[in-house]
Amino acid sequence: MPGPISHEIMAEDYISLLDEQLGEPVHLLGYSDGAVVALFVALKRPDLVTDPVVVSGVYHRDGWAPGVLDTEVPEFMIDSYAEVSPDGRAHFTVVAVKLTQMRSTQPAITERELADVSCPTLVLIGDDDEVLLEHAVSFYRALPQGELAVVPHASHGVLVEKPELCSSMITAFHGSDKPATYAPIQRAN
């Protein structure tokens, strides 16, 4: 991909895809940087998203645990890239540089901007995630219709580490039968 990478550019591409291919609201799940993309889609085009799930993602770059973005990319991620990239394995270094540049300034969404997300949104992380738990809580609290799921004994690889539990929670979130809560605080109004 020539030029810089940004969450907003990826969101615009996704919006174009949804408009051209479907033209109707979808369930949208984004993981890590993809969670930020899903969030931007919900902010920019709420008519295209029914109830996004943001997994192990941040709304602001300060939500990453200290040092996480400074670590080497795991070999399995480079291997995965090499399997699908028409440019081959060596091209990953180009992508890695662009991602590092992007993450040095992005995302920078504010809690005030999160209040504009008009659809129910599930924030899902592992209890030992690269995303700070406190950040996930502030993410959840800033969303007017936010829900929070913290998966025990799980890291940034939560979807792979606990697939059945995550699937169950996501399916329940997307379902229309929301159980009554008996002493709500966040959803009291």
Convert the pLDDT of each residue in 30-42 to its tens digit. Answer: 999 999 999 999 9
CB-hemisphere CA count at 13 Å for 139?
Answer: 34
- Confidence band (pLDDT; 50, 70, 90) for 70? confident
Helix or strand or coil: residue 116?
Answer: coil
Residue 181: predicted pLDDT? 81
Q: Is the pLDDT at 1 greater than 70, yes or no?
A: no
How large is the angle between the packed helices 75-84 and 92-103, nearest 10 degrees? Answer: 120
Q: Is the pLDDT at 24 greater than 90, yes or no?
A: no
Q: Name the nearest CA neighbour of 15 among 41, 33, 51, 39.
A: 41
Query: Which has more confidence, 81 or 135?
Result: 135
- Confidence band (pLDDT; 50, 70, 90) for 188? low
Tokens 């200290």, residue located: 66
Helix or strand or coil: residue 122?
Answer: strand
Cα-Cα-Cα-Cα dihedral sign, residues 107, 13, 3, 69:
positive
- Confidence band (pLDDT; 50, 70, 90) for 189? low
Q: Name the nearest CA neighbour of 173 among 35, 65, 27, 24.
A: 27
Give the pLDDT confidence of 150-172 residue by residue, as tens digits.
999 999 999 999 999 999 999 99
Q: Please give the biggest Cα pair distance in the chain.
A: 55
pTM: 0.90
Q: Is the pLDDT at 49 greater than 70, yes or no?
A: yes
CATH number of 7-174: 3.40.50.1820
Residue 76: predicted pLDDT? 85
